Amino acid sequence: MNIGQAAKASGLPAKTIRYYEDIGLIEPKRDANGYRSFREGEIHRLAFLNRARGLGFSIEDCRALLGLYDDASRASEDVRRLAAEHLDRIDARIAELQEMRATVAGLVDSCAGDGRPDCPILDDLATGPLSRHAARSRR
């Protein structure tokens, strides 16, 4: 199977497949003409990577997951630990997003949204914690 067919079968763009090969996540065979030749096993690995990346696992997490997948003597606790660490990162990101949402919602609520030039949103962005820190570091 060529890279276009592999892309269609795995749901990944050909560019991503080339990248995964460049970083050593997959190693397709090469035909005599130098073209990549994908077998069913590589298609399965690509689909595995597609699913794992879709769930937000990092490239290094994917490398570890593939290693565990290939290791018949693996312990499921190792897989669980990796997934639990990823879940912790997801929970932390959700908390950050909730805090960000609350801040932006408060700013939206504080703005009259009328024809006057005064805008508490712009005032906050200009004098908020990051802006104040940047101003201090320029002194």
Query: pLDDT tens for residues 34-81?
Result: 899 999 999 999 999 999 999 999 999 999 999 999 999 999 999 999
pLDDT score for 137: 54
Do the Cβ atoms of 37 and 55 come closer than 8 Å?
Answer: no
What is the Cα 119 distance to its own chain's centre? 35
Give the single-character DSSP code of 114.
Answer: S
96-135 tens-digit pLDDT? 999 999 999 999 999 998 999 999 999 999 987 765 455 5
pLDDT score for 136: 52
The CA–CA distances, whole Å, from 108 to 4, 102, 127, 136 equal 47, 10, 16, 27
Do the Cβ atoms of 52 and 35 come closer than 8 Å?
Answer: no
What type of residue is 90?
I
pLDDT score for 129: 72
The whole-model pTM stands at 0.78
Q: Which of 82, 12, 75 is nearest to 42 (CA)?
A: 12
